Amino acid sequence: MLPSLVLPSTLLFSLWAPAVLAGNVTFGEACDPAHQKLQEGTFQFQTDCDSTTFCARNSTCAHRGCRVDTFPFGYDAKAVLPDKCPRGMFCPDEQDNCQGLLSVGSACQFNRDDQCDAPPNFKELADTTGFGLNVNGSVCLNNICMWANETAGNPCVVQNTAYTAYGPDGEFVDIVSRGNCKVGLYCDSQKLQCIQAKNIGETCDADKECLTYNCLANGTCGRTTDTPIKVATWVYVIAAVAILGGMIGTLVALYFVHRKDRQQEREKRAQYWREQNAFRQNIMQMQETARHSLMSYTPGGGSPRSSTYHGVQTEDSQAPMLNAQQAKSSGLRYYVSDDASQVDDRSEEDLMMRRRPEQNRF
């Protein structure tokens, strides 16, 4: 670990250093230790080397010798991860190698409470709320290791850090205030004294003033943000009734809509049946009319086709057809046309015989 990175003055100065592109230099390539800094707004440690290497003293990127996270970023699935530091040691931001815990008053890296050695009564002072107030009763405030053991009314040390946050309305500044007071107390930034934290419903100006570490927008302490919301029984009843009512209402509405559609389809089918039935009745009536017309046209109700040769057989009927036609020929064999010419037309005579069958009987 480079000593210049743990000095408070260097860390504070690095916040005002110009932005530098970092994190793209691979193993064995050249790097500049002076580019190592904390990113403005997030205070994340940055270096020229990529996520699997660190900038060594010889200004080249070397493989990391330890890791802080259980699942570090940037490694392949089959890569061999560096070991985590054992108890009593810590892995610095550079992650070059494990180092021993720092005593009270030693320089530590920004917000690295885990770099500080624990007090003898660390079990009593350790944070069990999960808000990250300290690590085993130790805190790193203003880059100095301290113990979080100050009681109510005693002087305290405070560190206010402005982080860049993002919300629905855009970018805003979120100020996080930390102190070296015991758990359940907070360090007042104006008085620099440890004050008892407030319960839910009491007025507050910052999250640290509440035991739940959640100061609402209305200026009162609210429940912790991870508190499960318990809904009253009547809410479940109303929700169940609303759901059932919605289901029943939907079914009823669908029934009436479908019934209307069925009635329309039924009316269409009935109208089609009436039209087809009327058409059939018309056809039957036309057939009946035609049949009666033919029956009334033929004497005796016989068939017109059979009435041509119907009558009493005489000796003339036994004669050849030609003689019979000559014997029964009428004066209509020859007729005068419109142009005053006589036309011999046997087909006309046959036609007249079919039209007037009663003349052939005499």
Span 225-277, pLDDT tens digits? 888 888 889 999 999 999 999 999 999 999 999 998 889 898 999 999 999 99
Give CA 211 to chain center in angstroms.
Answer: 38
Instruction: Quote the CA–CA distance of 337 and 145 in Å, as a whole number.
Output: 143
Our count of domains for the chain comes to 1
**What pLDDT, on the 0 to 100 scale, is given for residue 326?**
44
pLDDT in tens, 106-136: 999 999 999 999 999 999 999 988 888 999 9
pLDDT number for residue 18: 34
User: Is 54 a domain residue?
Assistant: yes
Residue percentage of the chain with pLDDT more than 90? 52
H/E stretch holding 99 reads strand 99-100
Q: How far apart are CA 94 and CA 1, in angstroms?
A: 7
Dihedral of alpha carbons 59, 65, 67, 68, sign: negative
Domain contains 215: no
Instruction: Name the pairing type of β-strands 89-90 and 99-100.
Output: antiparallel
Confidence label for 23 from pLDDT (cuts 50, 70 and 90): confident
More confident residue, 1 or 286: 286
- Whole domain around residue 15: which residue ranges? 1-84
pLDDT bracket for residue 298 (50, 70, 90): low
pLDDT tens-digit profile of 38-54?
Answer: 988 889 899 999 989 99
Q: Alpha carbon of 80 to those of 63, 83, 332: distances in Å?
A: 11, 9, 129
Examine the pLDDT at 61 and tell me if it is beyond 80.
Answer: yes
Residue 16, in any domain of the structure:
yes
Q: Is residue 24 part of a domain?
A: yes
Q: How many CA atoms lie within 13 A of 235 on its CB side?
A: 4
Task: Decide if 44 is inside a domain.
Answer: yes
The answer to whether position 57 is within a domain reads yes
The position carrying tokens 């009663």 is 358
Residue 107: DSSP 8-state = B
Q: Would residue 295 count as lying in a domain?
A: no
Structural domain includes residue 286: no
Percent of the chain with pLDDT over 70: 76
Question: ∠ CA 8-177-197 to the nearest 5 degrees?
Answer: 140
The average pLDDT across 321-333 equals 43
Helix or strand run (H / E) with residue 343 = strand 342-344
